[in-house]
Chains A and B, each alone.
Chain A
Amino acid sequence: MLRMIAAAMLAALLLPGAVPAQQAEPLRITIDNPNIEPMPIAAPVFIARNAKAAEYASDLVDVMVNDLTGTALFRLIPRAAYISSPARLDATPKFENWRAINADKLIVGSVSMRRGKLTVRFRLWDVPSGTQDGDGLQLVGDRKDWRRLAHKMADAIYSRITGETGYFDTRIVFVAESGPKNRRVKRLAIVDQDGANLRYLTGGNDLVVTPRFDPTSQRVIYLSWATGSPRVFLMNVDTGQREELEHQPGMTFAPRFSPDGSKVVMSLSIGGNTDIYVVPLGTRQRIQVTDSPSIETAPCFSPDGTQIVFESDRSGSQQLYVIPAGGGEARRISFGQGRYATPVWSPRGDLIAFTKQLGGRFYIGVMRPDGSDERLLTASYLDEGPTWAPNGRVLMFFRDTGGAASLPALMSVEITGRNLRRAPLDIPGSDPAWSPLLD
């Protein structure tokens, strides 16, 4: 019996066709090293639904496109190349016409105005696949806020394509500088991130430095010599109201808000020793965080509020340290050559930006919170004071090229190291601070 079974099995094995035909495994190909280049987009002038809205149809698109192309992630295909123009917002575009000009994304919108209110509706289309990219959006606002409507559109499109929140409906507070170096006038100023709507917050009599935005509101904290000595002031940039944070002995400087806006961390110099203190805005009672004979300054909270990064010379040179927000043992995170200063924790928590001085030059760089993966993004005679865009993808700082007549300028760079460019601002400035997104 066993012999018969074995013979049958052998015969089954030897018979041609008894085994299923050989199936090929799918061919595997790995594609790496992708291109990093601007995505071509098409943005025809919006459809004006009534005569009053016609004057905004082009300007809205221009401001929105300017936001998007300013990131260097997108480039606008010139409108002269468009084969057709959408006549209705709700009609499916003729994708062939947009593929013919190599557009990747198509933005179609309409605008109407009624009783002084602008209503903007738009859709984003993915041209290669011929699909709508997400839902359409409708924005309504006062006509004087038409630029903000355009920024909101750009935020929505940027978020849809990149997966990150936008940063276009934001403002920058900075120190506007004028005059020669020995008689430099420094005023607090605020401007939209695209350079529009410049407004001065302080006069030129008092020296002001290091303004910082509250991450949760439109308040600013800054250092002023208005009382004759450096003191920390709070200001509501919308109302112009300001107040001194505290009036106690000692010199306070380098203030910065906590992520929830309820506290301020800053340096306080008492008796020649500088340490870091946290001041709750409710009680205004100082809480000492560091206690060291060295100089501790430039503190910044982590996004979750549990840690503080700061600079200290306790090791003999200026280096970066991280300490629990309630105090404790500080941990050194910078070990490279040169001196490290002005650390700023990214809003998304993955990186810490800093200023580095090495060999007579200044650099803006980033590193992970544990000090690893340090990368320098810029270099110059003087690059200093980084601030993060609210989405943690772009850094702004100021650059001074040196020389007797030089004036600082605001610059920005992506954390990938690309798109280093001057901020669209017509006046010299330093110490920028990025606002959170407006409501």
Chain B
Amino acid sequence: MRRSLAISAALHMIIILLAMFSGQIFRSDEARAIQISEVELISPAEFDAAFSTAPEAPKSELPSLSPPELDGAEIDAPDAPQTPEKLAIERIGADRAEDAPRLDAVREEPRPDIALDVPAAPEAPVDSAAPEGVSLITPRVVGPAIPEQRRQRPDATTLAPESPARPAPRISTTPAPKPPTDATPAEEASPEVAPSDTATEVAEEKPAEAPPEAATEIVPEVENEPETIESVTPLASAPPPKRPRRPTRTAEARPEETRPAPAASPNSAQPRPSTNRQLGPPVTRQEKEGIALPIRKHWNFATLAGLPDADSLVVEIRLKVTPDGRIRDLQPYRPRNPEGNFRRAFDLARRAILIAERNGALKFPPQEKYERWKEIILTFDPKRNRVGF
């Protein structure tokens, strides 16, 4: 026992000595990887001088500055004084342009009335007095009622951008169908599908490119495709959706209505004045974003951001929307009569709404919820983080 203890102690001692003096056992790879570089110490002033450009300072051209080359006599003498003259300023508002449109709420395009029985759509009228090129005037067509389907969904050949599909409601109001039975394993294993070497068509990924701001020459499409004008422009304001008829009250029906209707009640098929059934399911957050996002995209607050009271310029706008998603009325809601900077804030908000609508970017909730979104109050709150540190 003592002998084995002595052997063990001796072996441990040998290992410890090897580790201490040879350094081969516990040397780490990190220690081997350390490289020593010479560094140069600089003063704080030199460091600041090297990194003295302020954050976001655009195109500092300070090194390119050069003192003016003046001879001694020129430096000693100041320049001759100059007195600025007073300029006369007059308003020419009294003679506002005679044909300047005065719009109250929503922009109103000048559209000639054209009957539907005209064989061919006329060309867009051009103001002969002002040769400004051809304008994209869209005629308004008056005629028989247009089928609801056509009014709501223009043809694929129209010029208007097709609005993307509406997002599905987050919570479905109908129960999901029964899931299919569990899949069973096939008797024979299918071979793994591999990309074919003989494939000839390879879709190249193209880098995304922003469209140019504008072409140097724009040919109005009205001239080329006059026949599609009908389908481009919403032909007429769609009537409001039909309200569900009130159930006919009969002597037999009354007792049924006074108590909760069972699922198999014969009256359950008729529309009842239940709140949810009249108004449809609530508008989801995602559906609200379908309206808010495109408007926010065009809401530019730069011109008012520097005002001392910029954060308080909250305006509310009330919209009335047709079932097919056209804004038929746009009015200030709070304040009712915006003035001064509130008027400017209102103008910026209205601009964002109009551009979003013009681009066809507004995505309204589904039709069954129309009663809920036929009137919308948009609150424009400009609070945001300021730049600075």
Contact = CB atoms under 8 A, between A and B. Distances in A.
Contact of A141 (B52, B88, B380): B88
Given A33-B296, A39-B303, A202-B78, A100 B136 contact: yes
Main secondary structure of the interface of A (DSSP, over half): loop
16 contacts: A15-B249, A21-B243, A24-B279, A26-B375, A29-B288, A31-B295, A34-B348, A91-B99, A91-B130, A93-B132, A101-B213, A138-B92, A145-B84, A348-B308, A375-B386, A381-B48
B247 A402 contact: no
A327 interface: no
B308 to A, nearest CB: 4
Contact of B384 (A34, A85, A148): A34
Interface of B: 44-45, 47-49, 52-62, 65, 67-68, 70, 75-103, 107-109, 127, 129-133, 135-137, 213-218, 243, 246-247, 249, 257-258, 272-273, 275, 278-279, 283, 288, 291-292, 295-308, 318, 340-341, 344, 347-351, 354-355, 358, 371-384, 386-389
Contacts of A17: 246, 249, 273
B100 A92 contact: yes
Contact of B133 (A94, A375, A380, A417): A94
Chain A interface residue count: which class?
Answer: 35 or more
Contacts of A35: 296-302
Q: List the 5 closest A-B pairs by CB distance, nearest first.
A: A135-B93, A417-B387, A178-B67, A381-B52, A84-B132
B273 A420 contact: no
B85 A36 contact: no
Main secondary structure of the interface of B (DSSP, over half): loop
A286 B65 CA distance: 42
B247 A137 contact: no
B78 A361 contact: no
B386 A417 contact: yes
A130 B103 contact: yes
B65 A428 contact: yes
Given A96-B136, A148-B87, A204-B76, A417 B381 contact: no
Interface string A1-28: 0000000000000111101011010111
Contacts of A32: 296, 380-384
B82 A238 contact: yes
A343 to B, nearest CB: 17
Contact of A94 (B135, B246, B347): B135
Contacts of A95: 135
Nearest to B275: A22
B269 to A, nearest CB: 15
Contact of B301 (A28, A36, A93, A439): A36
Given A104-B351, A381-B52, A416-B305, A94 B97 contact: no
Contact of B354 (A26, A28, A129, A415): A129
A107 interface: no
Given A199-B82, A399-B62, A417-B387, A29 B291 contact: yes
B103 A26 contact: no
B308 A350 contact: yes
Contacts of A121: 92
A162 interface: yes
Interface in A357-415: 360-361, 365, 375-383, 393, 399, 401-403, 406-407, 409, 411, 414-415
Given A36-B305, A179-B67, A360 B48 contact: yes
Given A29-B291, A128-B107, A420 B54 contact: yes
A305 interface: no
Given A27-B288, A378-B57, 6 more contacts: A34-B348, A123-B97, A140-B89, A393-B306, A401-B52, A418-B387
Contacts of B279: 22, 24
Interface in A226-253: 237-240
A37 interface: yes
A152 interface: yes
B85 A142 contact: yes
A287 interface: no
Contact of B214 (A31, A77, A365): A77
B213 A81 contact: yes
Contacts of B386: 375, 416-417
A29 B278 contact: no
